[in-house]
Structure 1
């Protein structure tokens, strides 16, 4: 194409596509990057140089962040609201149970937590093939920041980042890799610690099974599910996770018999 927009036809063939022509000549092949995948592992490793780097934790005082919480996403089987399913005889209306229009996009699985070192670094293991996002927690377990995107690793893959949503052009902190090794890298990779004292079944299963096992066997559309409505769930359940807290600490006062006095019944 010329500067004035005029085009000149260079090649045309009725039988072959010539849109991406490659010159037939001796060329030096490009350097191929070595594979970072190890199919004999069912986990991957994330390494964070300094959680305080980047706009994610801008203004947060050093020493405030104590843990990284890892949350896996399990996508719902069908869309929220309804779906018109056409068939041989008629159109069927498929309603999504529980979540209508304003429900969650996906099921959240709190896989566990990892400690943030004194220099802001962190190095931890997660199940491969699982879409995950992170939360930065303080000493009380309160959320300082939540990741608004998600990431995933292949088997045996190691992925590192500088901080929380740092600029993609950043090259790292001079107080980190250039001058000294981070505390996290000088220690073994962390296994995720159980959330609220209860290990997530997915992490337990993958740790005890063969390397051939995969997260797809436990999360997703094709994962087996119990038909018992009272069976324990791997994801969040208000009845199983929250109601017991109310029963232990609140219901003695906030119940139907004292609703006029307490204003609310739990």
Structure 2
């Protein structure tokens, strides 16, 4: 009577595929049994036990390269090796959890690319009545600023916080948003630019701290990229910004050249 089972039966008993069993053989994790008189390899209890052990460790996250030495180790080394594997799995779980959190935040757009402080500012803008297009444009500008001018990013956030705390600055910004409905040559744009520049000059904290301004002044190309973002979609805002900056430069405020 022929003893043992075929590779297909062995794979089914253990809960893996035939391809997996053959891969275990190729990796030297399970010895191939001898062929019987009919030319078939027959798997006995020893091979089946080894297959179960290998499959269990692999399913637990142990790399295949480490399974052989682990199974051949004594009890103390086996326990130590499992401790190492457990730590590696814990680190992987933490990494995957962080990635999952990022995916969840990506559902809210570019917020995954910004720190919580910046997200709070964006929420405040929406709460103050700024429209979704305006907030979206500010969000994109913040993402670009964080990457392109990292040394000036925190100062820029402080500047925005001061502006959100200033009712007149908020009102001027809303008027700037409304100005998008005006003709690009409307004389009110220059009047609004003058009002903005005058208010900023009267309240220097709205212009940012000197350290942050220096960081931006040293990055004129990056500044231009951020300032010109969406410029084709908001030509009045682009002109309003340029006019306001020109007045601030005339007053001695160091700003990058566009």
Q: TM-score range by the shorter chain?
A: under 0.3
TM-score by length of 1: 0.19
TM-score (norm 2): 0.19
Structure with the higher fraction of residues in strand conformation: 1
More helix by share: 2
Task: Decide which structure has the larger Cα Rg and report it.
Answer: 2
